[in-house]
Amino acid sequence: QVQLVESGGGLVQAGGSLRLSCAVSGTTFSTLPMGWFRQPLEKEREFVASIHWSGGWTHYADSVKGRFTISKDNAKNMVYLHMTNLKPEDTAVYYCVADKAIVALEDGRGNYWGQGTQVTVSS
């Protein structure tokens, strides 16, 4: 059974940084594309970033490009989202997601989701 567990969320001031972590178990992590989504309160869930299973290719939403960095450590079965220059509009529950098909992952149809971690950015 595939399990994804996020951590690292919290309260930060605008302009600050946070690093989210996602621990993955129950699957061959090294061959799995990974991604992050977020869902602001009373809004639709939205794509944030994705990474190829090799870690050699990444894709970002325009709203976070240049501020967020996704990475994965295949030796530790971990995926990270390093967020800098945070803005109040980045406030949301952030979800780690995995799927063998990166297209499905980016469309929000990923098979495996974590429980989410809250990020709150104060102005």
| pLDDT-derived band at 29, boundaries 50, 70, 90 | confident
Nearest to 5 by CA among 119, 115, 120: 115
CB 104 within 8 A of CB 112: no
Say how far apart CA 106 and CA 96 lie, in whole Å. Answer: 12
Q: What is the pLDDT of residues 95-115, one digit of tens each?
A: 999 999 989 999 999 999 999
- Over residues 69-92, mean pLDDT: 96
| pLDDT-derived band at 26, boundaries 50, 70, 90 | confident
pLDDT value of position 27: 79
Structure letter (DSSP) for residue 85: S
